[in-house]
Chains A and B, each alone.
Chain A
Amino acid sequence: MSVSAHEAAKPGKGFRLDLKTAGPLLALILLVVLGYSLNPAFLNEGNVTNILTRSAFIGIIAVGATFVITAGGIDLSVGSMAAFIAGVMIIIMNWAVGAMGASIWTVLLGVGCSLILGIGAGFINGFLTTKAKIEAFIVTLGTMGIYRSLVTYFADGGTLSLNNGAREIYRPVYYDSFLRIPYPVWVFITVAIIGWVLMNRTAFGRYCMAIGSNEQVARYSAIKVDRVRTATYILQGLCVSLATIIYVPRLGSASSATGVLWELEAIAAVIIGGTMLKGGFGRIGGTVIGALILTSIGNILNLTEIISNYLNGAVQGVIIVAAVYLQRGSLSARRKKAE
């Protein structure tokens, strides 16, 4: 009665994968159709690039969050981390302009600092959760408060603005395009592809999944649990840093209001995309779609008069809950059908 593992695996797998990816993608398509029917301007090239560019911030952060969540962790600090990194970048670039004038090197210095800060902040989160054995929720709740208040302190309660000379040089990173696609979108695409490969085609991704579904099994299976966990937070920090690098030239400033609630939007994107909050199962493609869905909602509300723009958060909330409900619902329906 036993079937060779090989033959039976194929049809089953393909079918299930289809159903799982289909959910969020279908929702996005529906949203696009809805947006277009409400206001055809929704699909104008300008608006589409606008949506894509805006999704890039949340999307890039959410790709990092997918790893953290898949490995059974959570990072609440990403929003304030972004604000903090943006603040420090601006301070350092302003200082560099003062010391040696504005040049491309000023910007590169800022970018370098951002990367170091992101990786460092991620490492701190990872270290505290794995070595000091404090729950991720608490550690990142703590660092979230710390970064937020630090940036407020640096800005003295106001706004940190980037020196005009440096801003002129840095501006294109957000506003210019390559092959008619803005740079932030390119960064997003690259991060998503690397993230997908990492998650699905490397041992690291498999380890994240294993740790998230049962840490003990991972430990008994010769996986360096602490190291992999820490790596997910570092990856998250790196993603926040990249998002900040493309965010700073947009406004050229940072304040205590920068990046507020990004952590929740990132987590929402991850969850809408089908990754399980309790860990063990992560989908990068879903996360990308999740980020697009969230931005599209805001955009559609902007373009139409039916619902006030102030209700953006409410609509997003409804969509998140509905998306998760549908995923669960379709899961149990399928189970029932199978029996």
Chain B
Amino acid sequence: MSERADLAVPPILSAHRISKSFGDIPVLFSIDFDIRPGEVHAIIGENGAGKSTLIKILSGLEQPTSGTITYQDKTVVLPPNGEAAALGIVVIHQELLLAEHLTVADSIFLGRELKSGFFLRLGEMRDQARAILDTLHVRIDPEARINTLSVADKQMVEIAKAISQDAKVIIMDEPTAVLSVAETTTFFEQIKRLTAQGVAIVFISHKLDEIMELADRVTVLRDGQLIATLGTENLTPDSIAQMMVGRELSNLYPPKHEPDVDAEIMLSVRDLAAPGISGISFDLRRGEILGFAGLIGSGRTAVAEAIVGLTRKSGGSITLRGNAVEFTDVSQSVAAGLAYMTKDRKGRGLLLNVGLQPNLTLMTLRKHLRRGFLDGKSEEQALERAVRRFDIRARDPSVPVGKLSGGNQQKLMLGKTMESEPDIVIMDEPTRGIDVGTKQQIYHIIAALAAEGKAIIVISSEMQEVIGLSHKVLVMRNGRLAGQLEGAEIVEAEIMRYAAGIKQGGNDERISA
């Protein structure tokens, strides 16, 4: 935990009685919030509670409907479009906003290029970028293109960019949602380094253990209301969760019902090879939840994409309920009862500029045809069902999905995937960006689906989730299966050992079997 910020230090940025409405819909009600230099202040709350909206207001991206903002002892109206960065308030959005084809150095200096006259001082920018990256103790080549970096590295580039802007306040929206455990650890070290230099950090996270570890103070929002702002020393993860959802949370994970040993094998993969992966073999039984653990970039998504036909496999075989299959696009796998839910909900999962209904039914429009024409009624009913089943909270369902809170987008995507009524579901990071209350719901939904006889693969970087849900866990490392765990073996330490390469299970006959 970082040094406790001195309570006597006056806040650098504070918000007084901030309210915000979109149209007629109020999302924030008279919120007070402040942040002191050298402090980590976490904002938590359920999906749609208004966290992202609050930080958008704190950084000028949205203007409050009423209320004032004080920055460095002056009441200010923050300039829109991220210009507040020049004042020292930098936001790192959950969807990293980096131009994929620029180099790391270009990205760090984007919009503030060093120039002599008309020309760019490329060498100097490169050197400065390298110096900043060095202070972060990360090994990223300033000349690498952004699209070659891992998500964690991209995040480091964003942080480097913030530092180069001489940020006094860094605001982060769910920074760790896309990081694996190891990456999160490095990330936390960076945060501590920054706070030691007096930078104020505001961050949103749904991971309560992280908040306990990192934050000095926690602000809890519920339905746009400020519930409390408290020092972490007075809190436990349970008490935070309770404040967030307004009720007691027990049994985050549903009880496991092991599938029958002789349950039908729904999906069987042998020696699968595809770009980035090789030698993948496993069986998935009816009623089974199979967890895929591993570091980010270990090839779990590549396995899923090769199975459903999003990428072409270069070797091996896939058998679906005894029939060899070879999918070349998703429509075939969906038709065969195999659905894949992507982890990239903004880039691959949802059409952000249209409403809930077209998104929900996009994959299964055929179901909503009557005599060849779309049947709006039937689509509407589907949406009503999904809203109920997955507890999707959209105050106005015709608003573009891009404006929903992250968690509700995730739930909508889950609804969309389940619309195809698959027998086998592959869920890639199913609870990314989802609050604990909803997580619990989703875990119970997953368990119920398995109990109904569906076969489920859960790919997750959240160790607890894999452990809490799976009947069997496969650990991947560098594009290969590193190990397989069952029953009582499924514990964090074991998974970590395989994921980090300390233990090798590649020759384990259970895997090649």
Q: Please determine whether chains A and B interact with each other in the same assembly.
A: yes
Q: Which residues of A contact B357 (CB under 8 A)?
A: 5, 9
Establish whether residues B351 and A210, one from each chain, have CB atoms under 8 Å apart when the complex forms. yes
Complex Cα spacing A224 to B23, Å: 38
B63 touches A3 (CB 8 A): no
Q: Is B438 an interface residue (CB 8 A)?
A: no
Indicate if the CB atoms of B22 and A224 lie closer than 8 Å: no
With A203-B365, A221-B330, A221-B363 given, is the CB distance from A213 to B353 under 8 Å? yes
For A6, what are the chain B residues with a Cβ–Cβ distance below 8 Å? 380, 383-384
B348 proximity list for chain A (CB < 8 A): 214, 216-217, 219-220
Q: Which residues of chain A have C-beta atoms less than 8 A from B363's C-beta?
A: 221-223
Q: How far is the CA of A13 from the CA of B380 in the complex (A)?
A: 13
Quick check: B398 and A202 within 8 Å, CB to CB? no
Q: Mark B143-181, 1 if CB is under 8 A from A, else 0.
A: 000000000000000000000000000000000000000
In the complex, per-residue mask of B326-348: 1 if CB is within 8 Å of any chain A CB, else 0: 00011101110000101000011
Number of interface residues of A (CB under 8 A): 34
* Contact pattern, B 59-87, Cβ under 8 Å of A = 1, otherwise 0: 00011010000000000000000000000
Contact (Cβ within 8 A) A3 B394 = yes
Q: Mark B250-268, 1 if CB is under 8 A from A, else 0.
A: 0000000000000000000
Q: Which residues of B have CB within 8 Å of A44?
A: none
**Which residue in A3, A5, A16, A218 is a CB contact (below 8 Å) of B383?**
A5
Q: Are A203 and B369 in contact (CB under 8 A)?
A: yes
Assess A197 versus B351: contact at CB under 8 Å? Given A5-B384, A5-B394, A203-B366.
no
A217 and B21 alpha carbons, distance in the complex (Å) = 30
> B119 — which chain A residues lie within 8 A by C-beta?
none
Query: In chain B, what residue has the closest Cβ to A205?
Result: B374
Which residue on chain B has the smallest CB distance to residue A226? B329
Q: How far is the CB of A17 from chain B (nearest CB, A)?
A: 10
Given contact pairs A5-B384, A222-B330, A339-B22, A214 touches B351 in the complex (Cβ within 8 A): yes
B31 at the interface (CB under 8 A from A): no
A220 and B420 alpha carbons, distance in the complex (Å): 13
- The answer to the question of B125 belonging to the interface, with a C-beta cut-off of 8 Å to chain A, is no
Question: Once bound together, how far apart are the Cα atoms of A5 and B394, in whole Å?
Answer: 8
Hey, which bits of chain B sit against chain A, CB under 8 A?
Answer: 21-23, 48, 62-63, 65, 223, 310, 329-331, 333-335, 340, 342, 347-358, 362-363, 365-366, 369, 372-374, 380, 383-384, 387, 391-398, 416, 420
| 11 A-B contacts (beta carbon < 8 Å) | A3-B394, A3-B395, A3-B397, A5-B383, A6-B384, A9-B380, A12-B398, A203-B374, A213-B354, A217-B351, A219-B329
Closest 8 CB pairs of A and B: A2-B393, A5-B397, A222-B331, A203-B365, A222-B330, A222-B334, A338-B23, A221-B363
